[in-house]
Amino acid sequence: MRIALVHDWLTGMRGGERVLERIAALYPGAPIHTLVWKRGSVSPALETHPIVTSFLQRLPGAERRYRWFLPLFPRAVESFDLSGYDVVISTSHAVAKSAITAPGTFHLSYVFTPMRYVWDLERAYFPPGRFPWPLSWYVRRTCARLRVWDRATSGRPDALLADSAHVAERIRRHWGREAEVLYPPVDVDRFRVRVAPAAPGARERYLLAGAFAPYKRADLALETCVRLGRRVLVTGAGPEEPRLRRLAPPGTEFRGWVGDGELGGVYANARALLFPGEEDFGIIPLEALASGTPVIAFGRGGALETVGRGASPEALARVAAGGVARVPGGVLFGTQTVAGLAEAIETFERGRFEPAGLRELALPFAAEEFDRNFRAAFERAHAAWKASR
């Protein structure tokens, strides 16, 4: 079969690009269509595929400021010529799922989330007062128009896969469609539980990792550590970094993006990973668990399916009611405030977690499991599509 891949943008190797890399490996040589591509920002494995970009690539500053072209995203994704393919596989957290395919082409979309910045998190990304009038009016109007377009084009894929039950529910609510849950791949073999004696200073600092977007609430983690007097190591980058540096407790180290060779040691040397945002799924907590490091997470979204996997109904009920509970992967807190996270950290510090047991929690999400499950899901959806025609 002639297969094409569609992805929102290629500007860094984050969770979505790790999933795309795994899917692309199943279809060597399949071209990747994407709105914007920053050369060298993603893995060599992805860049060996032919990469087709949209007209956004030619706009000034598009590689760094592509988010400013949000109103043009629908037109850009609809501009791809996918008429020569039997199958299109999109990986989407913005507009990739709305690519237009030819009649007789099967389209399977792996959805990380419906566009969070126009649905559930519009006020977090575009808070009142961020833009002066009339720009603020234009932003609200653009978000409203994108919601209408997003819902109207949600029927373009023939089948949907969601990266968590949390996202499947969001798809049901916003698009009125059902999606099969297929957890994303985690390269657990890249991480190891520390077996040698810990080096001086190891396991003394909490870890905050990932992209600094508003909804991830890194500010909450840093404010809590200031209150408790805890030390923090911060890895990652993003538009929130200047503000986070002002909030951080004294002695906080901002290390930027960490390479794969260093990442395992960063996890293994952390006291615990702080994960204070509501994520669609969240690969970072599983990488920490694979390294034998516990996670202190906000008990909403994907964390319930990873850190809270195997927790008792009583513990989950306590978190749902706004409280704190120890769970197999660490501690969950149900109130997204400094007081709520502080209680979770203090609860964590009164107990102990066995590193080998934490790693066991990550193994069901191994990349090989994803390959097997993706192939099976593709075959089921493709067979159902052919039968319906």
Reported as a single tens digit per residue, the pLDDT across 56-72 is 999 988 888 888 898 99
Enter the tokens of residue 158: 């023939």
**pLDDT(352) > 70:** yes
Do 338 and 349 lie in one domain? The reply is: yes
Residues 6+ apart with CB under 8 A from 313: none
pLDDT tens-digit series, residues 312-327: 999 999 999 999 999 9
**Shared domain check, 197 and 181:** no
Secondary structure letter of residue 342 according to DSSP: H
pLDDT per residue as tens digits for the range 227-273: 999 999 999 888 788 899 999 998 899 998 888 778 888 999 999 99
Q: What is the CATH number of the domain that holds 236?
A: 3.40.50.2000
Residues 60 and 83 reside in one and the same domain? yes
- Asked if 353 and 297 sit in the same domain, the reply is yes
Question: Which among 52, 57, 21, 15 is positioned nearest to 36, based on CA atoms?
Answer: 57
**Domain encompassing residue 235:** 188-365
For the CA atoms of 306, 307, 310, 315, the dihedral, rounded to the nearest 10 degrees, stands at -130
301 in the same domain as 220: yes
Helix spans in the chain (H): 15-26, 44-47, 62-65, 73-78, 122-125, 135-152, 165-175, 218-228, 241-247, 260-268, 284-290, 313-320, 338-349, 355-362, 367-388
Q: What are phi and psi of 250, to 5 degrees?
A: -55, 140
Q: Which residues are registered as beta bridge partners of 3?
A: 87
Q: Is 1 exposed, middle or buried (0-12, 13-18, 19+ CB in 10 A)?
A: exposed
Model's pTM, two decimal places? 0.83
Domain match, 169 and 254 both = no
Q: Are residues 169 and 214 in the same domain?
A: no
What is the number of domains present in the chain? 2
- Report the pLDDT value the prediction gives residue 118, as an integer from 0 to 100: 82
Whole-number Cα distances in Å, 130 to 115, 124, 144, 147? 20, 10, 17, 21
pLDDT at residue number 98: 97
Residues 213 and 260 occupy one common structural domain = yes
- Taking only the tens place, the pLDDT of each residue in 127-181 is 676 767 787 777 788 888 999 999 999 999 999 999 999 999 999 999 999 999 9
Same domain, yes or no, for 210 and 339?
yes
Cross-strand bridge partners of residue 91: 7, 110
